[in-house]
Structure 1
Amino acid sequence: MVSPVSAHACGIDFGTSNSTVGWLRPQHTTLLPLEEDKPTLPSVVFFNAEEDVVRFGRAGLQDYLDGYEGRLMRSLKSLLGSGLIDGVTEVQGRAIRFRDLLTQFIGTLKERAEAHAGRAFDQSVFGRPVHFVDDDTVADRLAETTLGEIACAVGFKEVSFQYEPIAAAFHYETSLAREEVVLVADIGGGTSDFSIVRLSPERARAADRWSDVLANDGIHIGGTDFDKQLSLAEAMPLLGHRSPLKSGREMPSSIYFNLATWHTINFAYTRQVWAEQQRLCLESTVPERMERLLALIRDRAGHWLAHQVEGVKIALSNQETAELSLARFSPGQQALITRSQFDVAAQALVEKIEGAVARLLPEAGVTASGIDTVFFTGGSSGIPLLRRRIAALFPQAKVVEGDLFGSIGAGLAVDAARRYGMA
């Protein structure tokens, strides 16, 4: 049922790991349900070969985890700004463009949001990271252009963009009673983005907010990078990574890097890779580990293992130890991983993110003591080491945790109402 007063446009947070759609309606929840009653749709596409259907979100991931034959695609947003976006991949014997995969997923977001809202959306504000691509303005601009073209292809007539941390700031601003200078730390699946913004109830009424945005910066590091480093440090050695061959050389690492990276896992399943790993198994000094690797390739269990690693990362945000299971391709095999091991694996990434935050202060013209609040959002902002190190840069500021998966979509809805109006 459409509210008598509602925004003309919606806000879309197309995320690396999860996506949301927000629509501003007084006395209504801002985020629209996208999968059953849940406001998030995991950014997952699964081509189910057995039933010849395409499934999205949790349903697609569950099909894969249940063992259906098919092709799983995750971290689709990572394709934007990369050379892969105009490439093709093979799915059930058919060549499919990566661009078309993104179009299918974003089209599904629009369809599900409209079905729940009971109306069509012709206009939308899309969130975007501060940098789709680090240190390459041409590729960054192309990534935004590509996303805009895809949005128009699925039926939007007018599309604009907002930096994701600024959108999160607008969501936080709806709760304020007085003015604050806020550092928004948005640690998502693919990027870490930061904004320093001056917020207040009075400023929220202004049509143009750019004078309140003191600085923006970001770095192309996010939750999937933490997954990758944890996988390389703790999971891949169980499959022979960094083990010696009989010749004294070390096992070639390319297959392990592909298996540890969500959007390159399928590269491990080619006939050429299979033949090469069989040969290396004969040369290995740890053949039992190589047998696990061969079993993973044979069972196409790479995404399953990546899902287990991601689960360990999430568990270690709330507890000191977690079990990593290899049961799908190596029954009975598991490893205990501690938070301190994760901290070691994450250290270099955390230092790079710290550097991006520190660079923001002189750009904004403020000191650390001038920050009133550090506002955390994004699913990966719950990583304890990362949160401690960022908060330590601003010892006088209060720390606020937003809706880790919904603040950006809700803030984009606020911005969409401001830009395109209410009726």
Structure 2
Amino acid sequence: MIVGFDYGSSNCAMGVLEQGVPKLVPLENGKPYLPSTLYAQHNSLIVDYVAKNLARGELADTYVSQRKGLLAGIPAIRSDLDLANNESGIYIGREAIDEYIEFPEEGFYVKSPKSFFGATGLKPEQIAFFEDIATAMIMAIKTRAENHLKHSLSHTVIGRPVNFQAVGGEESNQQAISILTKAAQRAGFKHVEFLYEPLAAGIDFETSLTENTKVLVVDIGGGTSDCSFVQMGPSFRENHDRSNDFLSHTGKRIGGNDLDIALSFHKLMPQFGLGTQMKSGLPMPHPLYWQACKINDIHLQSEFYSDTNHRELTRLLRDVEQPNLLSRLIKVLENKQSHQVVRQGELAKIGLSEQSTHHADLSFVESDLMQLIEHHDLSDAINDSLKQMVNLANDAICAAGTRPDVIYLTGGSAQSPLLKQALQQALGDIPMLNGDNFGSVTAGLTKWANKIFK
């Protein structure tokens, strides 16, 4: 059976074609969108989960051989965790979030793993670990979809950003594609293809066009922002090769997660000492707080949670004017609560789209600790990120050498009034249409998969 698969930075979704219409498959509690999160009671259990769920054959034999050292220690780990034979110790989606919130310091938690796949400087063992994370997630998602559909899934088109990273170029893209391809194959897909996410959203939109139209698709996802300038309409939609219809592509690793991080840094980190002074009169170093917030940067998070950083922060306690604030940051480090802090930034961003003020709840760090955030705080915090997103759209138009007839907005953060205002100010009075915030990409991937595999 054929599916379109949006392995997104914020959410995962799968779609199938029913009587010519894309239908999203329920993946969690009857809902089609599953948060892109994984929690493991121990990181080695991810390898155990993959090994146990691989279909027998050469692929499984090779995998077990490659992970032989890690697999040898699994019985002792399972015994220490008191896991029953039917317990994997692995959680995905909202269950992963719940487990992390309850046991932040005890297990391994990752949000938006796709954001790391193109990271530069990864060692072979780190690449292998991300392959295992992706495989475990895709295995679990595929199994849920198959149980609902009562069919095995063999063919898929997976969405991909134009660029997985701001740096690294095509080498980063190929690294990420390799990780996803291996993961999908290990999960049981026999045929795997990829399609640019903004183009997938455009293909879904194209179905409604009655005349040929130059469309700039602006897709602001959780981890990346992508623009595709495409010729669409009745003269183009039946083409199996759309390369001649693309006028330009631009993309960058900046998305909704970066807006959450920026707001958390500027408005929440002052509660942890940002902006205060040392007794010497020098300001508290900013990098400490970026490390705490940058949950989508594996290197900065490793530095923040390192023993060296813990010793340095503890040493700084006697040199700062407000040690009570720095003590909160140390507690975030010790309890591995960076994700919880940034989650409050995300909730503030969402809340401020409908109201002028929001109270961020930081009581998981200290009883009754709250932070008031106002709408102008959001605007100030994310202004630089919005400029980068607008520049991508402008670059796509310049590269195409023509003006779009319409801008089609899709992705979780593309509906932000602040983004729309910034686009209009920069690009002028081009009509803007809203797509399904999350479903457009999956629907387009589903249509394209059924076109190329049939």
TM-score (norm 1): 0.89
| Percent of aligned positions that are identical | 32
SS at match of 1:22: strand
Between the aligned partners of 2:119 and 2:243, the Cα distance in structure 1 is 29
Q: 1:286 aligns with which of 317, 322, 327?
A: 322
Aligned position for 1:106: 138
Q: Does 1:130 align with 2:166?
A: no
SS at match of 2:139: helix
Aligned position for 1:220: 253
Aligned position for 2:24: 31
Q: Is the 8 A contact 1:79 1:85 kept in 2?
A: no
Aligned position for 1:165: 198
Q: Is the 8 A contact 2:22 2:443 kept in 1?
A: no
Q: What RMSD, in angstroms, separates the aligned Cα atoms of the two structures?
A: 2.3
How far 1:183 moved relative to its partner? 1.1
Aligned position for 2:109: 72
Q: Partner amino acid for 1:25?
A: E
List aligned pairs for 1:222-371, cutoff 5 A.
Answer: 222-263=255-296, 264=298, 265=301, 267-367=303-403, 371=404
In structure 2, runs of 5+ residues without a counterpart are: 43-80, 84-88
How far 1:211 moved relative to its partner? 2.4
How far 1:33 moved relative to its partner? 1.0
SS at match of 1:303: helix
Q: Mean alpha-carbon deviation: is it higher for 114-123 or for 410-419?
A: 114-123
Aligned position for 1:14: 7
The one-character-per-residue Cα deviations of 1:104-130 (angstroms, maximum 9, x if unpaired) are: 112222222222221122221111101
Between the aligned partners of 1:241 and 1:215, the Cα distance in structure 2 is 41
SS at match of 2:189: coil
How far 1:27 moved relative to its partner? 6.7
The one-character-per-residue Cα deviations of 1:191-217 (angstroms, maximum 9, x if unpaired) are: 100011222245322322222222111
How far 1:241 moved relative to its partner? 2.0
How far 1:67 moved relative to its partner? 4.6
The one-character-per-residue Cα deviations of 1:167-193 (angstroms, maximum 9, x if unpaired) are: 000111222333322111100011100
How far 1:88 moved relative to its partner? 5.7
Q: Is the 8 A contact 2:267 2:373 kept in 1?
A: yes
Q: Mean alpha-carbon deviation: is it higher for 391-400 or for 51-60?
A: 391-400
TM-score (norm 2): 0.83
SS at match of 2:247: strand
Between the aligned partners of 1:208 and 1:46, the Cα distance in structure 2 is 40
How far 1:87 moved relative to its partner? 6.1
Q: Is the 8 A contact 2:218 2:228 kept in 1?
A: yes
Q: Is the 8 A contact 1:12 1:124 kept in 2?
A: yes
Between the aligned partners of 1:43 and 1:397, the Cα distance in structure 2 is 33
Between the aligned partners of 1:21 and 1:372, the Cα distance in structure 2 is 30
How many aligned positions are there?
406
Q: Quick one: structure 1 residues 326 and 88, their matched pair in 2 at CA, closer, same or farther if it must change by over 3 Å?
A: farther
Q: Quick one: structure 1 residues 51 and 416, their matched pair in 2 at CA, closer, same or farther if it must change by over 3 Å?
A: farther
Q: Is the 8 A contact 1:243 1:285 kept in 2?
A: yes
Q: Partner amino acid for 2:10?
A: S
The one-character-per-residue Cα deviations of 1:31-64 (angstroms, maximum 9, x if unpaired) are: 1111121111101001247785211001111222
Q: Is the 8 A contact 1:181 1:199 kept in 2?
A: yes
